[in-house]
């Protein structure tokens, strides 16, 4: 009766109501229903998240490594016990089918397992008499506050797999700018991380527009930026953050190209290419924007490709039989529609 649920942002392990007047819709990708609204956090709210991470860093980084890994062990157990719940969350807000959504969570769990081995990962080195009368010793130390800017297409794996577990277990603190289209999964995972015993301020979460996110690229208390997304935005993030003295990791679009030669197993190649093209509703790096097939086998290969494309079961993302779910929002559907349609087939003679 009161409309979609209004989401909150998290600072110091507290879920706070935003003072913003702008909210961004979060839809059920399979029905179009607006399930929730994510706040476009204000400048002050983004700054408060950074301040909390900066305040938490000294104590957290000084904790014995075993105490930090204990949080990861408990976190891993909670992810496993909530796997079905998190899988459904990904499937609903993103549009991946159940198996692919489950894979999103499992990939995050794999890195959490790796973070449990941080006492080994953080070991240094020592060498006596590297030069006459000189020994060398190397220590690995935490750096400070890091910020993560993530895309919508892997709401669990990218922030809570690629970024946060290793970053915080090695003693750093973190501010996550969650994707406004798919924030609920990240928020729920953060709740589980807090339940696992994460101290206040170690991980903070905001949703906002690019205008507020720009603060993270220049903020003096942020030591590094981790980004995954489009190349155009990545170039801006890299250049701006690096110019402001940040360490920057920018993983941009990685679309691949396919080449099929006449000695390939054409049927098997077609199955793999269909999976790469339509898996995760086309929202992963293995999607193929271009495919070149040798002339002598092109007709036979296209026959297999059409056959298996037609067999793909399309439907509601969270129905067990669905193989290809919807794109994330109505706006993305229109952009796909504008760019789609079978393009003119250009044959290259090899």
Catalytic residues, by residue number, are 285
Backbone angles phi, psi at 16, to 5 degrees: -110, 145
User: What is the rounded CA–CA span in Å between residue 286 and residue 348?
Assistant: 23
Region of 324 (left: φ > 0; alpha: ψ -120 to 50; beta: rest) is: beta
CA torsion angle for 295, 301, 303, 307 (degrees, to 10)? Answer: -160
User: What is the rounded CA–CA span in Å between residue 293 and residue 307?
Assistant: 17
What contacts 52, CB < 8 A, 6 or more positions away? 11, 12, 200, 201, 204
The two beta strands, 5-6 and 34-39, are parallel
What contacts 78, CB < 8 A, 6 or more positions away? 192, 195, 196
What contacts 144, CB < 8 A, 6 or more positions away? 54, 57, 172, 173, 221, 222, 223, 224
For residue 170, the SS3 value is coil
């Amino acid at each position: 009766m009161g409309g979609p649920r209004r989401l909150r942002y998290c600072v110091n392990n507290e879920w706070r109501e935003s003072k913003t007047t702008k909210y961004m819709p979060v839809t059920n990708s399979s029905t179009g229903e607006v399930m929730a609204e994510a706040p476009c956090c204000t400048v002050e709210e983004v700054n408060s998240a950074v301040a909390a991470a900066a305040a938490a860093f000294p104590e957290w980084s000084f904790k014995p490594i075993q105490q930090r890994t204990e949080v990861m062990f408990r976190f891993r157990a909670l992810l496993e016990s909530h796997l079905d719940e998190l899988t459904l969350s990904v499937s609903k807000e993103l549009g991946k089918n159940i198996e692919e959504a489950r894979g999103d969570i499992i990939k995050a769990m794999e890195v959490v397992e790796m973070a449990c081995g941080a006492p080994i990962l953080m070991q240094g080195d020592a060498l006596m008499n590297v030069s006459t009368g000189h020994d060398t010793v190397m220590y690995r130390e935490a750096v400070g506050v890091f910020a993560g800017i993530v895309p919508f297409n892997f709401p669990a794996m990218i922030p809570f797999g690629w970024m946060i577990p290793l970053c915080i277990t090695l003693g750093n603190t973190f501010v996550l700018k969650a994707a406004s289209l798919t924030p609920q999964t990240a928020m729920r995972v953060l709740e589980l991380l807090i339940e696992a015993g994460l101290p206040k301020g170690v991980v903070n979460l905001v949703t906002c527009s690019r205008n507020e996110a720009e603060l993270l690229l220049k903020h003096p208390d942020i030591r590094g930026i981790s980004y995954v997304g489009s190349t155009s935005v990545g170039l801006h993030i890299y250049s701006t953050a690096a110019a402001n003295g940040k360490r920057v990791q920018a993983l941009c679009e990685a679309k691949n190209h396919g080449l099929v030669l006449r000695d390939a197993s054409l049927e098997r190649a077609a199955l793999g290419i269909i999976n790469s093209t339509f898996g995760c509703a086309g929202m992963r790096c293995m999607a193929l924007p271009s495919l070149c097939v040798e002339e002598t086998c092109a007709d036979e290969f296209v026959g297999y490709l059409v056959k298996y494309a037609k067999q793909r079961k399309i439907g509601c993302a969270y129905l067990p039989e669905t193989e290809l779910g919807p794109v994330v929002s109505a706006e993305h559907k229109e952009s796909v529609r504008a760019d789609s349609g079978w393009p003119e087939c250009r044959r290259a003679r090899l």
